[in-house]
Structure 1
Amino acid sequence: MPTVLLIEDDQSIADMISIYLSEEDYNVHWGADGQQGTKLFNTIEPDVIILDIMLPDANGMDLCKEFRTVSNVPIMVISAKSEVSERVKALIIGADDYLCKPFSMRELAARTSALLRRSAISNHSVQSTPPAESGEIDPQSIKIDMEKRCIYLLNHPVETTFSEFEIMKLFWMHPGKVFSREELLNKIRGIDTFVTERTVDVHITNLRKKVEIDPKEPKHIKTVWGVGYKFEH
C-alpha cells in the first residue's frame, strides 16, 4: 500500500483527500502545517507527497525545496494559484506536478497514481552504464545509475528532481535522438496531465545547470531549433 504524505491546512480539503485516497488503497498521513509535515516526512518515508503551497506556518515552496534537497520522492503541489508563473516556479524548485484548486478527487488520484507508477518503474530498472570503447572511464562523461536514480558528472552524484531524472534517463538511453517538447512532456507526465511546453524548457535549463560544465555553451543537452532537444555523450 503506497504511503502518501498530505500537507494541507484546510481540514475539510484534507479530509476529502484522505478519505478518497484511502478508498483507493493509499495509506495517507496528514500534516496540518509545515512543522507537522516536516516531522512526518522524516519519520514515515512517503512514496509521494501532496503539498499545499499556502500553509499557516511555512511557505510550501520552501518546504518543497527543502524536501527535494534530501529526497527524490515525487512531489505534487496543490494550490489555489493558477498563474503560469507559479507553476513554473514550483517546477523549478523541485515539484513534479502542479494541480490547481479546485480539483476533482478523481483527477488527484489519477495524477498520484501516475507519479507512483513512473517512480516504481524507474526504481526497479536494472542499473546500466554506457559502454567505454577503450575500457577506461572517461571522467568527463555523464553516467546514470538506474537503480539508485542518480546522475553522475565527473564521477560525482548530481541531485535531480523526479522529472529531471526521467528526462535525463530518456536522453541517455537514446543519444542523438531529437525529442520534441511534446514527446518529452508525454514521456514524463502522460498525455492527460496539464502541462505546457514551458515546463520542458524549465527542466532542460535546470538539467544544463547541473550536468554541463558551461550551461550557456552546452556540450551534452543541445537545442535543435524549431524541433526540440537531443543528448550527446
Structure 2
Amino acid sequence: MNSRVSHIVVVDDEHDVRTVLTDALRQIGYTVTPVSTGDELYAADNVDLAVIDLRLNNEDGLQLARQLRENSDIPIMMLTGKGDETDRIIGLEVAADDYMMKPFNLREFTARINALLRRSQNAGTKRVSVETNETVYQFDDWTLYLSRRLLQHADGRTPDLTYGEFSLLEAFISSPQRVLTREHLMERTHGYDSDSLDRTIDVLVVRLRRKIESNPRIPRLIKTERGLGYCFDASVTKLVPQPH
C-alpha cells in the first residue's frame, strides 16, 4: 500500500500569498513546496498537483500551465485576479483543471485541492486495474476501456483525456440521453457543488467536444440543454467481463 503524502507546488510571486497557501495546505497534511518561478516548479520532484498564479511578474502563468500540461497530467489549479474572466476561461480550456479568484476562502481552497487530488488518485488506481476484468463502453464510433482510461475511435485514434475530461465522459456515459445539471456534473467531476456563475463544467465540455465530436461547433453527442445543463445524446452499450 502506497502511503506517500501528496506533494503540492504553489507557484506565486507574492510572498504573503505563498506563505498563507503553504501553511493552509500543510495544516491538512500535504507536503508543500512554495516557489515563485516556473524553473523552480520544474525542479521539484514527484509533484502531484500544481497551484499556479495566472499573473506572475516575469512570466505568463497561463503559458507555464500549458507547458506543464504538455509534459504531465497532474491536476492544475489556477489562481486569478478579479476581472480576469477571459483569461480564466482560456486557462481552463487549455490547461487547468480548476480555478479560484483572489481573494478566496481558504476552506474552499483546501476543499477544492482535496477534490482534485482525490479524483486524480482514483483515476490512477483505475489505470492499473487488471485488464481482463475490464468494463468496456461503446458509443457512436468510440470504445472506452474504463480501467485503462483509454478512449479509442474506430479509425484507431486514441485522444489523450485529462482526468477531468475523463471524469466528465464517465458521468455522461453512465447516464446517457438524460439531462444532467451543471451542479450534478460538478459533483461527479470535482467532488463539490458549484454556484451558477462557475464556468468550470462549460469549459470542460468544450474541451471534451474537441476530442470526441466530428464537428465540435455542431455537436451530435454532447447537447446543450439551455437553462438546464447537458445531455449525452448517444446510445451506450456496456460490455461487462464474464466470470471465468
On whether the aligned pair clears a TM of 0.5, the verdict is yes
SS of the residue corresponding to residue 156 of structure 1 reads coil
Q: 1:58 to 1:207 in 2, by over 3 A?
A: same
Query: 1:182: which partner in 2?
Result: 183
Query: 2:162: which partner in 1?
Result: 161
Letter in 1 for 2:207: N
Q: Is the 8 A contact 2:10 2:51 kept in 1?
A: yes
Aligned equivalents of 1:178 and 1:141: distance in 2?
22
TM-score w.r.t. length of structure 2: 0.79
Offset at residue 223 of structure 1 (A): 3.3
Offset at residue 197 of structure 1 (A): 5.8
- Cα deviation per residue 1:150-206 (whole Å; 9 max; x = unaligned)? 433343221233322211111123332331233222322344445636433322222
Aligned equivalents of 1:38 and 1:113: distance in 2?
22
TM-score w.r.t. length of structure 1: 0.82
Query: 1:217: which partner in 2?
Result: 218
Q: How does 1:39-188 map to 2 (within 5 A)?
A: 39-40=43-44, 44-125=45-126, 126=129, 127-130=134-137, 141-153=141-153, 154-188=155-189
SS of the residue corresponding to residue 136 of structure 2 reads coil
Q: Is the 8 A contact 2:52 2:76 kept in 1?
A: yes
Aligned equivalents of 2:202 and 2:104: distance in 1?
26
Percent sequence identity is: 29
Q: Is the 8 A contact 2:123 2:163 kept in 1?
A: no
Offset at residue 107 of structure 1 (A): 2.5
- For structure 1, the residue ranges without an aligned partner over 5 or more in a row are 132-137
Q: Is the 8 A contact 2:8 2:47 kept in 1?
A: yes
Query: 1:23: which partner in 2?
Result: 27
- Cα deviation per residue 1:63-117 (whole Å; 9 max; x = unaligned)? 1122222322111111223443232222111211111222233322211111111
Letter in 2 for 1:151: L
Query: Could you say what the CA RMSD is over the residues aligned between the two structures, in angstroms?
Result: 2.5
- Select between 25-34 and 97-106 the one with higher mean Cα deviation: 97-106
Q: 1:54 to 1:183 in 2, by over 3 A?
A: same
Q: Is the 8 A contact 2:137 2:146 kept in 1?
A: no
- Cα deviation per residue 1:17-72 (whole Å; 9 max; x = unaligned)? 222212211011222112211332xxx23221111112233211111122222322
SS of the residue corresponding to residue 99 of structure 1 reads strand
Query: 1:35: which partner in 2?
Result: 39
Query: 2:17: which partner in 1?
Result: 13
- For structure 2, the residue ranges without an aligned partner over 5 or more in a row are 236-244
Aligned equivalents of 1:195 and 1:226: distance in 2?
10
SS of the residue corresponding to residue 10 of structure 2 reads strand
Q: 1:192 to 1:120 in 2, by over 3 A?
A: same
Aligned equivalents of 1:159 and 1:3: distance in 2?
24
Aligned equivalents of 2:109 and 2:61: distance in 1?
18
| Count of aligned pairs | 223
